[in-house]
Amino acid sequence: MWTIIAVVFYLMLVGYLGFLGYRKTTNASDYLVAGRQIHPYVMAISYGATFISTSAIVGFGGAAGVFGMGLLWLTFCNILVGIFIAFVVFGNRTRVMGYHLDAHTFPEFMGKRYGSRFIQVFSGAVIFIAMPLYAGVVMIGGVKFIEIYMGVPYDAALAICAVIIAAYVIAGGLKGVMYTDAAQGTIMFVGMSILFIFTYISLGGFTSAHQALTDLADKVPEKLAAAGHMGWTAMPRFLSTWWWNLVSTLVLGVGIGVLAQPQLVVRFMTVKSKRELNRAVFAGGIFIFMMTGVAFIVGSLSNVFFFRTQGMISIAAAGGNADAIIPLFISEALPKWFGVLFLLTLLSAAMSTLSSQFHTMGTAISRDIFQQLTPKTKKDNTLIIARLGVLLGIITIVILGEVLPDSIIAPGTAIFFGLCASSFLPMYALGLYWKKATPAGAKSGLVVGFLGSVFYILFIHAKESAALGACQALFGKPNLVPSLAVVDPIVIVLPISLLVTVLVSLFTRQMDPQQVERLFRR
């Protein structure tokens, strides 16, 4: 009962803040034209809320329950690459070039940078096709918690989540009003802080909790030990299957992939000045640590709790589904009232991220694909297409919520991040910093990165190729190159697409020097 009251109250609060933000018109042009001031706290914390989703907390927290604290290398990458490098190195250059190009979406930014409609349409298509997978796993993160914490069947929990999110999106959540994001970020920060402190206290303190987890090393299931798992406070055996899974897929895939996330790159363009970027770095580092760092530490330590209370490790207590570990830990180890707060934390994390994902999907289908292919069409039609795109996106993620297998959140996120990195990162990074990058080079890198990733997922990376079955059907074996079966696509495909972009750029016609200078002016 209290849970329902809290959720309804929360939704009313979010709705009210959205209305307040809308009425005060803290949107981009008013801010710029009137020079209105937004408090730096609101500005900074709203970024974090968009970055961190239920995928990071529930999915990767659960993965930490299986892999252990080695996942903290991902938190380190998230802070250093996802915040520091992204904001300090890429952020301002993106912002300035975005203004010069008058670009409003990531595909439009790339298309105008290279003067190529193909790049804009192709990038938009990649986003529109692949983004639902990421949005789907973000939603599953919330659904899993509702299922376990409130004891409702999965399908009903999925329906509840879909209705809340659809209502939020339709009621104007897409506007991404900063007040709403900041309120959601604050709830996330408070929720994760309590979780962090409570977990350490309940397990006997900082060092004792770690020691207890270290002592569980001999409880690693034989199959995982054979694959290279050496305990939850140790890295996997160097170059073992388990090591490749952790380092190449989870740490590198997501850690580097964050640089080329279309919905995050767009954020840099909506920033008003370099000052705001610097201020966001201030709060961003701590915020990411309190989100992913805490989720990974708590996920790992949950093994101690489940072993003490049930005599089994987390993944066994969760019935083999890593996505259920964090929800189960919250509902069994923490006071009931915290479960309500954590539910709001997850709703906040899901809604703030999904709103930006739907915004990106909506603009990809309308502005980047439809408007580019049919430039003479009426504005009304573009609007209808955008809304249809968002609706299609919602339906797709509900279907994905039904059909995707267990323990999918972390790998699903990693696939999307890896795909974005291999397809977009070379042309994006070189486009910002290398005047000699040519349209032909960018196109080649984009196509090689995307098709290379898809090929690798279908025919080489064992985890997906075995599950998807295309390789078995065509070649009669689960994957084509057994020695690369555990190496993530990003390790192979990203360097290839980068090399292709550079080489093709060196040997093709350069862009007009005057035009390039205009792009690179500060």
Task: List the interface residues with other proteins, window 88-147 (CB under 8 A).
Answer: 88, 98-100, 102, 104
Q: 2-23 vs 178-202: helix axis angle to the nearest 10?
A: 140
Question: Quick check: 331 binds other proteins (CB under 8 A)?
Answer: no
Q: Which CB atom, from 205 or from 405, has the smaller least distance to other proteins?
A: 205
Q: Which CB atom, from 80 or from 194, has the smaller least distance to other proteins?
A: 80
Backbone angles phi, psi at 434, to 5 degrees: -125, 110
Q: Which CB atom, from 144 or from 359, has the smaller least distance to other proteins?
A: 359
Is 123:446 a contact under the CB 8 Å cutoff? Answer: yes
Residues in 166-225 at the binding interface with other proteins, rule: CB under 8 A: 174-176, 206-214, 217
Q: Which residue in 56, 58, 79, 346 binds other proteins (CB under 8 A)?
A: 79
Number of other CB atoms surrounding residue 170 within 10 Å: 13
Q: Which CB atom, from 34 or from 403, has the smaller least distance to other proteins?
A: 34
Q: Which CB atom, from 258 or from 493, has the smaller least distance to other proteins?
A: 258
Using a 10 angstrom Cβ sphere, with 0-12 exposed, 13-18 middle and 19 or more buried, the burial of residue 482 is exposed
CB of 192: closest distance to other proteins in angstroms? 14
Q: Which CB atom, from 286 or from 466, has the smaller least distance to other proteins?
A: 286
Residue with tokens 């609706």: 391
Residues in 290-309 at the binding interface with other proteins, rule: CB under 8 A: 293
Is 281:91 a contact under the CB 8 Å cutoff? Answer: no
Question: Quick check: 386 binds other proteins (CB under 8 A)?
Answer: yes
Question: Quick check: 273 binds other proteins (CB under 8 A)?
Answer: yes
> In this structure, what token pair is assigned to residue 178?
């900063």
Is 261:420 a contact under the CB 8 Å cutoff? Answer: yes
Q: Which CB atom, from 98 or from 411, has the smaller least distance to other proteins?
A: 98
Q: Which CB atom, from 35 or from 153, has the smaller least distance to other proteins?
A: 35
Q: Which CB atom, from 103 or from 121, has the smaller least distance to other proteins?
A: 103
Q: Return the exposure string of 63-80: e unless at least 16 CB atoms fall within 10 Å of the residue's CB, then b.
A: bbbbbbbbbbbbbebbbe
Binding mask 350-369 for other proteins (x = CB under 8 A): ---------x--xx--xx--
Question: Quick check: 18 binds other proteins (CB under 8 A)?
Answer: no
CB of 76: closest distance to other proteins in angstroms? 5
> In this structure, what token pair is assigned to residue 24?
């005060």
Calpha distance 308→316 (Å, rounded): 13
CB of 365: closest distance to other proteins in angstroms? 11
Closest by Cα among 69, 145, 142, 62 to 325: 62
Residue with tokens 């001999």: 218
Backbone angles phi, psi at 312, to 5 degrees: -145, 160
Question: Quick check: 233 binds other proteins (CB under 8 A)?
Answer: yes
Is 123:431 a contact under the CB 8 Å cutoff? Answer: no
Q: Which CB atom, from 102 or from 222, has the smaller least distance to other proteins?
A: 102
Is 248:490 a contact under the CB 8 Å cutoff? Answer: yes
CB of 389: closest distance to other proteins in angstroms? 9
CB of 430: closest distance to other proteins in angstroms? 23
Question: Quick check: 377 binds other proteins (CB under 8 A)?
Answer: no
Question: Quick check: 519 binds other proteins (CB under 8 A)?
Answer: no
Calpha distance 428→424 (Å, rounded): 6
Binding mask 412-451 for other proteins (x = CB under 8 A): ----------------------------------------
Residue with tokens 């879909």: 162
Is 185:353 a contact under the CB 8 Å cutoff? Answer: no
CB of 72: closest distance to other proteins in angstroms? 4
DSSP calls for 76-142: HHIIIIIIIIIIIIIIHHHHHHHHHHT--SHHHHHHHHHT-HHHHHHHHHHHHHHHHHHHHHHHHHH
Q: Which residue in 35, 153, 375, 513 binds other proteins (CB under 8 A)?
A: 35
Question: Quick check: 38 binds other proteins (CB under 8 A)?
Answer: no
Binding mask 468-497 for other proteins (x = CB under 8 A): ------------------------------
Question: Quick check: 383 binds other proteins (CB under 8 A)?
Answer: yes
> In this structure, what token pair is assigned to residue 288?
């990411």
CB of 140: closest distance to other proteins in angstroms? 24
Question: Quick check: 372 binds other proteins (CB under 8 A)?
Answer: no
Closest by Cα among 382, 342, 350 to 141: 350
Q: Which CB atom, from 65 or from 489, has the smaller least distance to other proteins?
A: 65
* Listed ranges 219-227, 278-286, 345-353, 474-482: which one lies at the site for other proteins (CB under 8 A): 278-286
CB of 496: closest distance to other proteins in angstroms? 29
Number of other CB atoms surrounding residue 445 within 10 Å: 31
Question: Quick check: 239 binds other proteins (CB under 8 A)?
Answer: no
Tell me how far CA of residue 219 lies from CA of 229, 231, 500, in angstroms.
11, 8, 46
CA 508 from centroid of its chain's CA atoms: 35
Q: What angle do CA 249, 50, 410 make, to 5 degrees?
A: 25
CB of 370: closest distance to other proteins in angstroms? 12
Give the interface size with other proteins as a residue count (CB under 8 A): 74
Q: Which CB atom, from 208 or from 309, has the smaller least distance to other proteins?
A: 208
